Amino acid sequence: MRLKTWLKMNNITQKKASEALGISRGYFSEIVSGKRRPNPNLARKIEAFTGGHVKTMELIYPDSPPGPDEDIARGTPLTLDTRRDLLEA
70 close to 78: Cβ distance less than 8 angstroms: yes
DSSP state of 70: B
pLDDT in tens, 28-68: 999 999 899 999 999 999 999 999 999 999 999 877 665 55
pTM exceeds cut of 0.85 = no
When pLDDT is averaged across residues 4-29 and rounded to a whole number, the result is: 95
At 22, the amino acid letter reads G
46 close to 38: Cβ distance less than 8 angstroms: yes
Give percent of the chain above pLDDT 70.
71
Domains of the chain: 3-88 (1.10.260)
